Chain A
Amino acid sequence: MYILAIFGILAFAGVAILVSQSLKPKTARAWLIALVATTLAWVAMLFLRLYLPTNLTILSWEAGELFNSKLTLTLDYHNWPYAISLLTICMAAIFTDTTQTNNPSAPLRWVGSITIALINLVGLLAGDPLTLAIAWALVDIIELLYMINLQLNFENNQVVATSFAIRLLSLFALLLATAVGWHDQPGFSLHAIPSNANWVFLLAVSLRLGILPLKLPFLNADELRQGMAVLLRFAPAASALALLTHLSSIPQTLPPVWLLTLRVVTALAMLYSALMFATRPEKFASRPYWLVALSSFAVQCALQGNPLASRAWGLALLLSGALLYLFDPPIRRIRFLPLVGIVGLVGLPYTLTASGWEGLIGAGFSFRSFIFIFSHALLLIGYLRYALESNIAITALEKHARITFPTGLVLILQTILILNITGWPGVLTLGLWVAPVISLLLVCLSVFAFFKLGLKVPFTNLEQRLPFYRIAHAVLTGIQSFFSLDWVYTAGSFLGKQIGKVTNLVTELVEGEGGILWSLVFLIALTTLFIAGVKLP
């Protein structure tokens, strides 16, 4: 019932803000309501750590033998760290949004943040595929309506449509996975996913996280740089990451060739995204690559047969990422805050991501291990770079914002520390300490090289300073155009058009003058195939 109380608090706050704003608009009151509600929800969620696992049936679709399904919520060590992180980001978004309070739409954004946190929380806590599918659909539709409401320009609107279509694909992949799983075990819960459905669930997760297709449609409109937008991007990933922790038998069920292919593809996606993350011209352009890179780390853990280790990378994605991207405006005086946030990513012994290395490297070092370490080092370099590039000396911030803005960031740091201690049994571990040490050494070498070359943040004159810049730039552009998979989309689009042409030709034939005769010809051809018993797969 405590879970429902959390939902109730958040829902009540959303409605209360809307009502109070429609009666007598006052930004301060709306902010206070949002803040109190999210804080209460956060504390309640922290309290629930003492009662894990907790199950709750929210609706029972029972009508004789027709449906016999239940919509359930489950809170356990798989999803509790993600749930507390999601509420933290929501709270931090509301805190940091105080830099925008002069904007009359600010209270609506807070309602939006609370709503996004609420519905994503349902998906995150889903105990069965049915609840998860409904939550994902709800999230996608609300996000779509919000995006449409922003009335973006032509290009961004096309991206909105494409990203919704990819979300729909991930949703149907989830439904396909459920259908396949039901074949073995009807009405299964996420804790007991049948092994034959594991790979289809992985497909759904990969689509949702943007690993497939690698080029995640991502908006960079100015409207999407505020706190709510960060939540909008990170929250859906949370429920997919929570689902990933349940996919424990992928190495046992996938044929070795497929498994190897997936591992290689994910490793390449990881390396490419990390490289792109570190080399973007500005922080917000790096956001999709951050998501894909760390999601690839998490998926790699599942492919290695240790999905529980994916939590570490998933939490780094959410918390360290939120810390970096909520740091807007990037005020020079407090740039140490996102810098401290690197503790959630670095993976040194007894830090939050220490346990994540076991999921990646596991049995022993191999060539792939070096790709992981190198990608990790690139992420660290990029993170350091964006944090250090903060050079705005804002003096016009209102007094309250001077306190609330850094407080929001501190809240994230505090959650990283809390999860570092209480996230799940065994979180405080030495881990495979060699890997992060190598990664850090690579980072130090890079920093040293940068100093040696006389480079300083922000990197504005790389062309003159970097040796072989033009060659490196050309290589990077080539890699980018290959991995952006534009050629695949072009080929797919060409194929789709050809299929459409054939379909239209058939339609024109059967609707033309001799249409009925053509229809009969098709009918006879199909009937012959049936009668002849042509074998289908």
Chain B
Amino acid sequence: MISLPLIWIAFPLITGVLLIPFAKNRRLSVSVVSIISLLLTILAIVLPKEMAFVIFGHRYEFNPVFFLLGRMLSINHNAAVIIALLYLVNFSWNLISTRFKVSQYFGSLSLITTALWVTVLAIEPFLYAAVIVAIITLISIPLLSPRGEANRPGLFRYLILQLLATSLILLSGWMLAGIVSAPSASPLIFRATVMVLLGFILWLGVFPLNSWLSMLSDESHHWVVGMLLSMRQIALIIYFLHFLDRFAWLRNLPNIFKDMQLIGLVIIAFGGIAAASQKSIRRLFGFFFLIETGYTLLSIGLAAHGGLNQVAMSFIPRLISYWLWAFTVASLSDQGNLKLGYLNELSGLFYRAPFLASGLFFSLLNLLGVPLFAFFPVRRLVWAGVAGSQTSWLIFLVIGIASMIVHALNLLRIFIQPESETRPATPEAPSQKFFIGLGILLLIVVGIFPHFFLPYWTGILAPFTNLFNAFP
């Protein structure tokens, strides 16, 4: 019997550590990480429900549980989809990471980080996951601020707020021990709720504690920020759903889902306005992350209208956009087209580097939810959910979307601005064109055939039976 936690946690963790001494040989390190990530993704996708393979007449069974220091790591078939997604993220970011001027430890540390995120979702009692999240935060520091580069305030703020969140979640766990026997109106419930929600607000950078997001994306390499934040968002959303699933007192709080809708909508509106008034392209990723967190909270709030499925189906369209945006901004930075990161530095980009410009623009249109692109089939369900739930709240969505349209208009104006002085065309490597073209193609194909690509990922929600039963 092979233990599944050993396959998806211990093996990549050990491989990542072993690769650290070979960090200077980036090609080797990245190739090994990419292959392992791909294999682990495929294994997670093909893992049968009975958790056993029959190969050449031999039956190989998997043990879903592994005990370590008195704690249990549990990975069953239900968790396979989220594991596949996390390793898919790692694969897609590692595959072409040698193109970018990122830390030499990118390959090894990204594999370790992925394994730790899987641990976050597998550990029992699940409150211990908060400690793992703190470890992930610490491990990400060498990636965000490679050796030789000055540390900047965003990084410190990220570190402080993330560790603060960890302590809040752990503190809530201590309070939870008393809640089991407490009456429903106990002040303990209120305090624990505040702790849990504040912890997640800090972890996910929810408005108004979002400052570290834009600062970090401005200061650090976009390819690294893209990967770390993408994984963080996926894993923490699922972890938050764990809380809602496990604790009836939390999901039964009066108006909790309605309030989540409202918080999500406020974030979408604020994020849109903030993005529209930005002059730095590097900082934009932080605001996109914020808006996406807003949409996720909104969808969770719309659980009674099928919002949970929308949360799960959003992951892939969002990832494609994040990937495409991170790829193009990182390419522009590394090629010296973004010295200060101002949008004005990209004037006439559509004529100088049409693929890079298209990558940025179509990625933005996808995040906006424009029909034809991958996000549209999911977004329209969310919009319809808001209209069905509280029509007057649509005004927040209208503000958010209109602001993003203004931002798209600004970006387009800059991209197609004929330049007063002729600048040399930005060289676009064939491989660059290929990957951007592939990203755009994926956005369109998923947008036209969402019924082929998106329903699979609703398997992520399989473990949350209590939550689903609350909204039949």
Binding site for B on A (CB under 8 A): 59-67, 130, 133-134, 136-138, 141, 144, 148, 151, 153-154, 157-158, 160-162, 164-165, 168-169, 171-172, 175-176, 178-180, 182-183, 186, 496, 499-501, 503-504, 507, 510-511, 515-516, 518-520, 522-523, 526, 530, 536-537
In the assembly, what is the distance between CA of A537 and CA of B215, in Å?
A: 34
Complex A-B, nearest 6 residue pairs according to Cβ-Cβ distance, in ascending order: A500-B277, A522-B208, A165-B409, A179-B387, A137-B371, A63-B455
Which B residues from 394 to 416 make CB contacts under 8 A with A? Answer: 394-395, 398, 401-402, 405-406, 408-409, 412-413, 416
Closest B residue to A174 by beta carbon equals B371
Residues in A whose Cβ lies below 8 Å from that of B450: 61, 63, 67
Q: Does B422 contact A (CB under 8 A)?
A: no
- Name the one of A151, A164, A180, A507 contacting B409, with C-beta atoms under 8 angstroms: A164
- Name the one of B211, B309, B370, B386 contacting A515, with C-beta atoms under 8 angstroms: B211
17 A-B pairs besides A66-B309, A157-B417, A507-B274 with CB distance below 8 A are A63-B451, A65-B306, A67-B377, A137-B373, A157-B416, A161-B413, A161-B416, A162-B409, A165-B409, A171-B370, A176-B383, A176-B394, A182-B384, A182-B388, A500-B277, A516-B157, A519-B211
In the assembled complex, the CB of B392 is this many whole angstroms from the nearest CB of chain A, namely 4
Do the beta carbons of B448 and A510 come within 8 Å of each other?
no
Which B residues from 250 to 299 make CB contacts under 8 A with A? Answer: 259, 262, 266, 270, 273-274, 276-277
Do the beta carbons of B372 and A141 come within 8 Å of each other?
yes
Interface mask (B435-469 → A, CB under 8 Å = 1, otherwise 0) = 00000000000001111001100100000000000
A-B contact pairs, 16 of them (CB 8 A): A61-B450, A61-B451, A63-B454, A64-B455, A133-B376, A148-B416, A151-B418, A154-B418, A175-B383, A183-B387, A501-B277, A516-B161, A519-B208, A519-B209, A526-B266, A537-B395
Given A175-B371, A515-B211, A66 contacting B458 (CB threshold 8 A): yes
Interface mask (B144-180 → A, CB under 8 Å = 1, otherwise 0) = 0000000001000100110000000000000000000
In the assembled complex, the CB of B458 is this many whole angstroms from the nearest CB of chain A, namely 7
- Name the one of A137, A144, A496, A519 contacting B406, with C-beta atoms under 8 angstroms: A496
In the assembly, what is the distance between CA of A134 and CA of B369, in Å?
A: 11
Do the beta carbons of A148 and B350 come within 8 Å of each other?
yes
Residues in A whose Cβ lies below 8 Å from that of B391: 180, 183
- Name the one of B209, B372, B387 contacting A137, with C-beta atoms under 8 angstroms: B372
- Name the one of A141, A179, A501 contacting B383, with C-beta atoms under 8 angstroms: A179
Residues in B whose Cβ lies below 8 Å from that of A160: 412, 416
Given A67-B377, A507-B274, A182 contacting B215 (CB threshold 8 A): no
Residues in A whose Cβ lies below 8 Å from that of B373: 137
Do the beta carbons of B384 and A503 come within 8 Å of each other?
no
Q: Does B328 contact A (CB under 8 A)?
A: no
Residues in A whose Cβ lies below 8 Å from that of B274: 503, 507
Do the beta carbons of A537 and B386 come within 8 Å of each other?
no
- Name the one of A66, A67, A536 contacting B392, with C-beta atoms under 8 angstroms: A536
Residues in A whose Cβ lies below 8 Å from that of B363: none
- Name the one of A162, A178, A510, A537 contacting B380, with C-beta atoms under 8 angstroms: A178
Do the beta carbons of B273 and A67 come within 8 Å of each other?
no
- Name the one of B387, B412, B454 contacting A161, with C-beta atoms under 8 angstroms: B412
Q: Does B313 contact A (CB under 8 A)?
A: yes
Which B residues from 83 to 139 make CB contacts under 8 A with A? Answer: none
